[in-house]
Amino acid sequence: MFALACVGAGYGIWAYVNPKTGTGGGYTVYARINDASGLASFSRVMVAGIPVGTIESIRLEQGKARIDIKVRPEVALYKDASLAKRSSSLLGEFIIVLGPGSENLERLRDGDQILNVIEPTSTDQILKDLSEIAEQVKQVSKSLAGSVGTDKGEKDIQATLSNLAEVTDQLNKAVTENRESIRRIVVNVEGITSRSGPEVNQILENVRVITSDVRSLVADEDTGVKGSMGSVRDTVDRVNKASADLQGALQHINSISARIDRGEGTVGKLTKDETLINEVNNVVEGVGDLVGGIARTQAVIGLKNEYYFQSGGIKSYVELRLQPREDKYYSIELINDPRGLTTFEQIDVDTTNPNQPPHYREIRTTTSDSLRFSAQFARRLGMFTGRFGIKESTGGVGVDLHALNDRFELRQDLFGFAEQITPRWRVALNYEFIRRLWLVAGVDDIMSRERRDYFVGLQLRFIDYDLKSILPFAPL
């Protein structure tokens, strides 16, 4: 009943915490991209912001990075489906984003390739474009300084303003002359009217009507003499102001360009000081490596319970595995062992008691109900993984064998060298019978006939993305 309860509880926890539940029975597609930095196995695959699968593996093929993707069975991808790499955080973590494609085309099957790959713009390309833009701006500023910022350009602008003033003066003279002519015409017309009688009066009436119409037209169009003079003066004022602003801007541009050429200021140092440029590049590369390493690190949580038949106790494990790459990881464990934690104390005694030796040594063995801990470094080579470090509060080593696409593990640990004469040798078989849920069975303390014991258990092992995002800000 206890074993059934553990299986049910473990499956419920697995279904709640596993972010990739539902990919069982799905299909695998692949794509080749030029840059797979920031991606790692088990990274998320999204469609419209919804997780639809995970990255199964990343390897080099035909000079490019081949990415194998496990997609849920209910998610359909078509022949024109697209794949792109997108950033999911400021720490440099990347995910794969899929575009399903057109539904009227043929569906992709297991093992098919996604041909439409959208390559993201790299930081180097952005810096190159910015460099080209800066060079063009520099050329424009030089051309502007050469054409307007010289003595000849200033003289040309002054000549233009002088011409505008002369034209304005001529317009004033023309208007004055026209006014005098009109006055003489009016006098002549008055003389004619006094002599011509009714016909002249009629003609004058017609002229009056026409003049009234012309005045109305001129008022509507605002093209009178005063309006023209006002427009010319406004134009001259704007040209004067624009010339002053342009001259000031050219002086600032010349000053800035001269400082940059002399290597003054931050920008000047960046363009002239090769040592500073190299240091900035090294700092940028170092920050990129640090952020990229944190983004690639996977935080794997392991929760395991084992039942020991001889002692009748339950041994519990809580494991945190930090895996920056597929071929190595760092493991930290807390263990609650029913055997407790055994410590040894050596006491040298000098005595004057005649019934005892003058000098003797006592070795006291103390077993307490305390937690044990493990801290190991692991490196994988092919099917084998070697481990070294502290195992259950003593020095220890271990070797693991992987098979059946890493769903089967044979784990061996040798530790406890100081607890007894023979070290503690434990062999365990692990099998992932349900995704993220492992069945465990094995033998503990094989070389000791008195302490040898057999055990079975269950382990829940999953990737915690939230814990990974907290790790950079948490003290060790």
Instruction: For residue 354, count CB atoms less than 10 angstroms from its CB and return exposed for 0-12, middle for 13-18, buried for 19 or more.
Output: exposed
Q: Using the 3D structure, point to which of 77, 102, 120 is the last residue of a domain.
A: 120
The pLDDT, as a whole number, for residue 294 is 63
* One domain for residues 254 and 347: no
Q: Is residue 103 part of a domain?
A: yes
Residue 324 and residue 218 share a domain: no
pLDDT at 227: 45
312: DSSP letter:
-
Asked whether residue 106 falls in the same domain as residue 167, the answer is no
Q: What is the DSSP track for 363-419?
A: EEEEEES--EEEEEEEEEETTEEEEEEEETTEEEEEEEEEETTTTEEEEEEEE-TTT
pLDDT of residue 73: 86
End of a domain among 202, 237, 262? Answer: 262
Evaluate whether residue 113 is within a structural domain: yes
Side-by-side strand order, sheet with 82-87: 27-33, 64-71, 50-61, 44-47, 94-99, 82-87, 116-118
Residue 274 belongs to a domain: no
Any domain includes 130? no
111 and 152 assigned to the same domain: no
Q: How far is CA 117 from CA 32, 33, 114, 132, 181, in A?
A: 8, 7, 7, 27, 83
CATH code of residue 426: 2.40.128
358 and 433 share one domain: yes
Residues 181 and 81 in one domain: no
Q: Retrieve residue 263's tokens.
A: 């290597």
Q: Are residues 257 and 315 in the same domain?
A: no
pLDDT tens digits for 163-193?
888 888 877 777 677 777 767 776 776 766 6
Regarding whether 322 and 467 lie in a shared domain, the answer is: yes
Q: Last residue of a domain, which of 262, 282, 305? A: 262
Q: What is the pLDDT of residue 198?
A: 66
Whether residues 45 and 116 share a domain: the answer is yes
Residues with pLDDT less than 70, the chain: 14-25, 89-92, 121-125, 144-150, 153, 175, 182, 186, 189, 191-201, 213-236, 239, 260-295, 340-344, 365-369, 418, 468-476
Q: Print the domain residue range for 107.
A: 2-120
Quote the number of domains for the chain.
Answer: 3
Shared domain check, 314 and 456: yes
Question: Could you tell me if residue 402 is inside a domain?
Answer: yes
Model's pTM, two decimal places? 0.44
Does some domain include residue 101? yes
Residue 376 lies in a domain: yes
Q: Please indicate, yes or no, if residue 141 is contained in any of the structural domains.
A: no
196 and 109 co-located in one domain: no
Check residue 221 and give its pLDDT.
46
Q: Is 467 helix (H, G, I), strand (E, B) or coil?
A: helix
336 and 220 share one domain: no
